[in-house]
Amino acid sequence: MKTVAQRFLEYVKHPTTSDEYAASYPSTATQLEFAAFLAKECEEIGLQAVSVDAYGYVTATLPATAKQAPTIGFISHMDTSPDAKGDGITPCITENYDGGEIPLKGITITPEEFPFLKEYIGQTILTSDGTTLLGADDKAGIAEILSAMEYLAAHSEIPHGEIRIAFTPDEEIGKGVDFFDVKAFGADFAYTIDGGKIGELEYENFNAARAVIRIHGKSVHPGTAKDIMVNAALIGAEIAAALPAEETPAKTDGYDGFFHLCSFEGNVSSAVLTYIIRDFDENSFARRKKRIETIVAEKNKSYPDRISLEIRDEYYNMASQIAPHMEIVELAKQAMEDCGITPIIQPIRGGTDGARLSFMGLPCPNLFAGGHNFHGPYELIPVSSMEKAVEMIVLICELSTTLDFPKNL
């Protein structure tokens, strides 16, 4: 039987970066390759009804050992963020962490910059070598789910209902459940194992939209450009400057929303700005989208017919969908407490597959996977946090047989 750390260290060596510009689904072939690998893992630990469909969804079942218990789903995503290099990952292991700096290639992870490190003194911490992200988001979740399923499969004396698991592609680019069949999945409720530090329990998340602004300029020789040249890159800079400087990710937290300029590519002839728009409040979310529309409309008055805007919603705050089913939040909370974990109930400053699934009829709060500093080379995860996640998943399954759930859940 593999440890959760062994499983995780094996998984991160599979490159699975998603690509938001790809026309295929999943967006990268490497995710399909990893899906096939995970399906074999599921079979090896004794899961049933193992499947990889044409879209790359991996699903499997652990049969019930108790009657009249709910069917619970556990879900994690296979892809890693395109924000940082995700291939050629070389994991590094820092054992018995001493509370000091963790030197890697070209970077150093320091407790001065990341004070939470002091919480893990004496523990084993996993990182990349500093040249890539690590992939704990969300291969840690996958490793934790499968380790919990392997444990339950080997201990049939533990009572639990039917358990369904799913591993999804393309979550990082907002397409993780585009083709997910909730009815076929057959769970009464589910949890995504896709959160951060140990103890996180989340059932609120951002409303999210993506805005793409395209600018068509006019390029002529700069020596004879007076009253002729239209510099697309400069127009893009004007648009970026028109948005509030204090409402960016680096200057907001808690329930604050933001505008995030993800990319700005351009020259005199053309420019493309990509923004993500985030807010917890539905009305404020609508106002943010309207603000970008207004800015673009005003700029088009100065530069007629040179600017186009496309805004599409990506997901919504699942709080409204979880509210009628708070017993599933209480179940996770009790499992954490029984494992000696202090629940940290807070909003997700992001989104998960669970947000969209909740609106598709599958209530799906998000639970910790244990990592920190996702989407970049400073990413890390303590082994003890992964071990506690496994314990929590097992206990959720067991406790679900002792609690009363509404018949219409």
Cis peptide bond N-terminal to 26, omega within 30:
yes
How many of the other CB atoms lie within 10 Å of CB of 373? 20
**368: β partners:** 195
What is the b/e burial string over 223-249, where b = at least 16 CB atoms within 10 angstroms of the residue's CB?
Answer: eeeeeeebbbbebbeebbeebeeebee
Closest CA to 74 of 60, 54, 55, 56: 60
**Strand residues in 223-371 grouped as ranges (E):** 258-266, 270-279, 307-315, 344-345, 366-368
Contact at 8 Å (CB) between 99 and 111?
A: yes
Q: DSSP states of 341-409 as a string? A: ---EE--BSS--HHHHHHHTT----EEE---BSTTSTT-EEEHHHHHHHHHHHHHHHHHTTTS---TT-
CA atoms within 13 A on the CB side of 105: 12
Point out which residues pair with 216 in neighbouring strands.
270
Residues 65, 66, 71, 76, CA torsion sign:
negative
Alpha-carbon separation of residue 113 from 93, 123, 128, 335, 373 (angstroms) = 20, 19, 18, 32, 11
Q: 181: Cβ–Cβ under 8 A, 6 or more apart, which residues?
A: none
Packed helices 29-44 and 136-154: angle between N→C axes, nearest 10 degrees: 20
Minimal CA–CA distance to 366: which of 331, 329, 324? 329
Separation of alpha carbons 83 and 386, rounded Å: 24
The helix/strand/coil state of 64 is: coil
Residues 273 and 269: their CA atoms lie apart, in Å, by: 14
Q: Which residues are catalytic?
A: 79, 171
Beta pairing partners, 315? 208
